[in-house]
Amino acid sequence: MVDQQRTKYLGGTEGAPPLPPAGGYQGARRASTSLDAAAGMITTSGGDITYSLPEPAQKKGVNTIGLVTICVTMLFVLTLLLLMGASGTDTLLGPTMLVLQFVVIGLIIAAVMTRRGRVLGAISLALTLVFNVATVGAMGALVSAATNSYDGTKSAEQKHAEAYPGIKGVSPSDALNGQSLEQVQQQGDDLMAEARRRITEQFGYEWVQTGTVDISPERNGHGGESMLKRYTSTTWTTTTPVQDNSRKREIMRVIDRVLADRGMYTLYALSDPDSSISDSMIANLYGSADPERQHTWEYYTSTYPDPLRFYALAQDLSKDPTGSFRTEREAVNQQTGEPLEGIQLVVLARQVLPEADRAEFEKRLRDYPGF
C-alpha cells in the first residue's frame, strides 16, 4: 500500500522551476554578501570572483618611555630600601635623594601621558606612593632610633667615639676613684634596712619589697653606651597606709636620725613650696602646692660627691579628691604588686662602675687620650 503522504515528496519534476537557458540568463551576476566582504572576496563585472586574504594587523611595539620609567622606579625603590637597611637615614633624607625622587616623578608623568606607556606608568606610580623618600626615610629613622645604628653615615672617627667607655663631660677618674656599683648597692641596702628597722620599732609598721634591681648602661654622649651603669634598687613600702600628716613628719625625723648616724645629709623636701620648684609644678606633681593637702610627700638626700641617692616618699590616697592619683597607683600595683599607699624607700645611683669591669674600663680608656 502506497503512503500518500510520502509520495508527494518523492514525485518527479512536477511544479519545479524551469532550467536556465544555455549560457545563463543575460546580465545575471552574483550578489555580494556581508560574509563575502568580511572574508575579503571581491567580485568582478564579468561574474568571476577573486578571493584575497586580509592584511595581518601590525603588532604594537613596547613603549620605550614606559619601560624606562618602570626600570628607573624599581632601581630607585631598591636604593631606598638598601639605604634604610644600612641605617643611612641622613642620606635618605638628603637633597640628592629628593632630586632623584623628582626625576622619577617626572618620568612617571611622561609615561602616563602616553597611551601605550600608561599601564607601566601606573605601576610605577603605585610603587612610589608606597616607597618614597618620606615613607622609607621615616621607617629608617625609626629603626635607627630604636637600634642606635647610624653606621651607614658615620665616619671612622664618629664610630670610634661611639665606643667610648666613659661619659662625655665626665672625668673617668670619678668612676675609678669613687664607689663601685657593688659598694653603692651594699650601702643602699644597709641604709634602707636600718631605716625600716627603726620605723618598725617605733611605730610597728611592716614592710613589703617590690620590683627588681635594675642595672642598665648609661649613654656615653657620643651615640653609644658607656661601661658605667645606672642602678635602681628594689622598693620597700609599708603594708599599712599612713594618712596622718603629723605621723608622716615623725617618720621622716626617724629617717633623718639614721642618716645623721651615717654621716649623711638630712632629708630635703622636694614637694615643699620652699624648694626650687615652682608652685604650679609642685601642684602638678604632688596634687597641691599646700603640703597639708598633697597626696605625695617626696624627700631626697645623697652622699655627694659619692653617687648614692636616697628617696623617702609618703603616699596618701585620702588627699586625692580627683581620683587621678589612685588610678595611677592602681596601675603600678597591677604591674609590680606595690601597695597603693604608705611610706616608701628606694635608692638610686648614676655613673657607677662594676668591679668586674674595672680592668676592661681602664684598658679601653687608653684608646681615647684627651676624651
Q: Comparing 32-41, 198-207, 258-267, which segment has the lowest mean pLDDT?
A: 32-41
Question: Does 183 lie in the same domain as 113?
Answer: no
Mean pLDDT of 18-30: 62
- Give the percent of the chain with pLDDT over 70: 78
Question: Does 218 lie in the same domain as 134?
Answer: no
pTM: 0.62
Q: Are 219 and 226 in contact (CB under 8 A)?
A: yes
Last residue of a domain, which of 153, 181, 205?
Answer: 153
Q: Does residue 195 register a pLDDT over 80?
A: yes
Q: How does pLDDT run across 319-346, given as a tens digit for each residue?
A: 999 999 999 999 999 999 999 999 999 9
Has residue 371 been placed in a domain? no
Question: Does 231 lie in the same domain as 131?
Answer: no
Q: Comparing 38-47, 126-135, 305-314, 338-347, which segment has the lowest mean pLDDT?
A: 38-47
Q: How does pLDDT run across 141-163, given as a tens digit for each residue?
A: 676 666 555 555 567 888 889 99
Has residue 111 been placed in a domain? yes
Distance of CA 69 to the CA centre of its chain: 32
Has residue 32 been placed in a domain? no
> Residue 113: what pLDDT?
84
Provide the domain count of the chain. 2
> Residue 337: what pLDDT?
93
| Highest averaged pLDDT of the listed ranges 58-72, 129-143, 187-201 | 187-201
Has residue 351 been placed in a domain? yes
The overall average pLDDT reported for the chain is: 83
Mean pLDDT of 239-256: 96
Q: Does residue 206 register a pLDDT over 90?
A: yes
> Residue 35: what pLDDT?
47
Which 3 state secondary structure label does DSSP give 36?
helix
Question: Does 339 lie in the same domain as 282?
Answer: yes
| Sole residue written with cell 566582504 | 37
Give DSSP secondary structure letters for 110-160. HHHTSSTTHHHHHHHHHHHHHSSHHHHHHHHHHHHHHHT--GGG--HHHHH
Has residue 39 been placed in a domain? no
Question: Does 230 lie in the same domain as 83?
Answer: no
Has residue 346 been placed in a domain? yes
Mean pLDDT of 248-256: 97
Q: Comparing 123-137, 206-220, 256-270, which segment has the lowest mean pLDDT?
A: 123-137
What are the cell numbers at 207? Answer: 614592710
Question: Does 191 lie in the same domain as 149?
Answer: no
Label residue 196 by pLDDT band (50, 70, 90): very high
Q: In 3D, which of 148, 151, 167 has the Cα closest to residue 159? A: 151
Question: Does 176 lie in the same domain as 147?
Answer: no
Mean pLDDT of 277-290: 92
Question: Does 229 lie in the same domain as 94?
Answer: no
Determine the Cα–Cα distance for residues 214 and 229; give it in Å rounded to an integer. 10
Residue 346 sits in a domain whose CATH number is: 3.30.2030.20
Q: Does residue 166 register a pLDDT over 90?
A: yes
Q: Comparing 9-13, 122-126, 181-185, 337-341, which segment has the lowest mean pLDDT?
A: 9-13
Q: Does residue 366 register a pLDDT over 50?
A: yes
Label residue 18 by pLDDT band (50, 70, 90): low
Has residue 73 been placed in a domain? yes
Label residue 106 by pLDDT band (50, 70, 90): confident
Q: Which domain holds residue 248?
A: 172-357
Question: Does 259 lie in the same domain as 131?
Answer: no
Has residue 25 been placed in a domain? no
Determine the Cα–Cα distance for residues 101 and 198; give it in Å rounded to an integer. 70
**Hey, which residues does 180 pair with through a beta bridge?**
353
